[in-house]
Every structure is written in C-alpha cells, then in structure tokens.
Amino acid sequence: MDTSPRKLGLLGGMTWESSIVYERLLNEGTRDRLGGSHSADLVVRSYDFQPLADASAASDWDGLARTFISDAVIVESAGAEAILICANTMHKVADQVAAAISIPLIHIIDVTANAILAAGLDTVALLGTGYTMRDSFYRDRMATHGITAIVPMENDAAEVHRIIYDELAKGVIRSESRETFQVIVAGLVDAGAQGVIAGCTEIPSLLRAENVSVPYFDSLTLHVNAALDFSVGLR
C-alpha cells in the first residue's frame, strides 16, 4: 500500500511568520500520521509581503488575483494535487484562483465554518485584517453555511488591523495587544457571539484559546488539519 503523502501546493502565508507555522504543522502532522521519517510533500510559493500589502492597500484585488492565479497554475504544474492559499484575506480572490486550476483548492473559510457547525454554534466573532472584517466576502461565505459572523466596531477593527500589520506580521508579540484583543472579543461576546474566529493566520501567535472565554477557532490550524486529511488521511 502506498503510504506516501499527496503533494500540496502552498501560496504563502502572506508573511513568513505564518508561512513557517504552516510548513511546521504540515510536516509534524504528516510525520505523526504516517510515522517513520515521513514529512510533508510541498510545493511552496513564498511571497515578499510588501508588494502584497501595497496592492491590498490600493484595493488592487484584480492584480492580486492575477498574481495568485499565475502562481497557482505554476504550483499545479509542479505536481501539487491540492492548493492552499495560506491567508484569510487573500481568500477574497479564492474563487478566481479555483476556477483557473484543475485541482482542489482547500478553502480556509469552509473548513472554519465546518468546525463552527460541529461545535453547534451559529454566531461567532470574526477578527482579522481590516479587509477581512470590513469586506463582505468572509461573512457572505460564512452565511452560506448558516453562520453569522460579527465584526468589531470601526475603531476596534482599525486597532486589530494595526496590531496585525505593525506587530504580528513583524514577529512582535505584546501582552498589551493581547489584552486589547481580549477586550474586543469580550465586547463581541456581549453582542451575541458564541465563539471567536482567529481569521488571520498571524493572530494565533498572539491570541489563543486559553485567552478567551468562548470556543476559539484557529483558522490556520483548521486549514492545516483539512490539508492533512487530504494529503495523508486519518491513519
């Protein structure tokens, strides 16, 4: 029986701070499921984050879509059997990428929604970049699963975005920022959220399940687990 992992293509993370977490967890998970000296079989497109941040700030989503489509096609041609866009915000262009390739795109919003439904919840807080929180693409996709995603008020959303870009994307972890996130989550829980989504792959470096009073959905780890299920199954 062939016990080799299926090859996965990774686009990012969008910062190397989350890229290395994806690669570590995929390698550890493959080893744990297959045993021996197995590790993940990966084709990785790692990005210089600054041009992506500039394009996002300029709302050049068409340009970003073209970049990710081109890279997805290259990754597929290198033998990848499924693709992960390793960032929540860049799932704004995920449908365009998926339409351009012939292999599955493992969608971070869908796998996060599946975990929320499995927990029996239907209303959650969403923390992420300003693009993820303010734009409708994330909340709309959650709604197709019957889930309502609540986002912070504008001042709080701006502070979450600042912490992600000015601190977490640069590997800076501050206890004061964790406390800020906790206060914002508590306010969203008071507004009806039954759980909270870490909807940026850098957030788990700062805020973890033990830091909040409600179920915590780490989109990065959920994404990795779905990729492992595809690559090596439950062995």
User: Domain count of the chain?
Assistant: 2
Residue range 100-149, pLDDT digits in tens = 999 999 999 999 999 999 999 999 999 999 999 999 999 999 999 999 99
pLDDT at 13: 80
Contacts of 179 (CB under 8 A, 6+ apart): none
pLDDT at 234: 67
- pTM of this structure: 0.95
Could you say which DSSP state residue 52 is in? H
Does a structural domain hold residue 131?
yes
Does a structural domain hold residue 167?
yes
pLDDT over 90, % of the chain = 94
Phi-psi region of 36 (alpha: psi -120 to 50; beta: other; left: phi over 0): left
Query: C-alpha distances in angstroms, 191 versus 149, 188, 208?
Result: 11, 5, 21
pLDDT at 233: 84
Residue range 154-177, pLDDT digits in tens = 999 999 999 999 999 999 999 999
pLDDT at 3: 79
Structural domain including 32 reads 8-107+222-231
Confidence of residue 2 (pLDDT cuts 50, 70, 90): low
Query: Is 84 in the same domain as 155?
Result: no
Cα 233 versus chain centre, distance: 21
Residue range 3-21, pLDDT digits in tens = 789 999 999 888 899 899 9
Query: What CATH number should be reported for the domain holding residue 152?
Result: 3.40.50.1860
Neighbours of 225 (CB within 10 A): 16
Neighbours of 127 (CB within 10 A): 27
Query: Is 66 in the same domain as 78?
Result: yes
Query: Is 164 in the same domain as 196?
Result: yes
Residue 17 burial (C-beta neighbours within 10 Å; 0-12, 13-18, 19+): middle
pLDDT at 1: 43
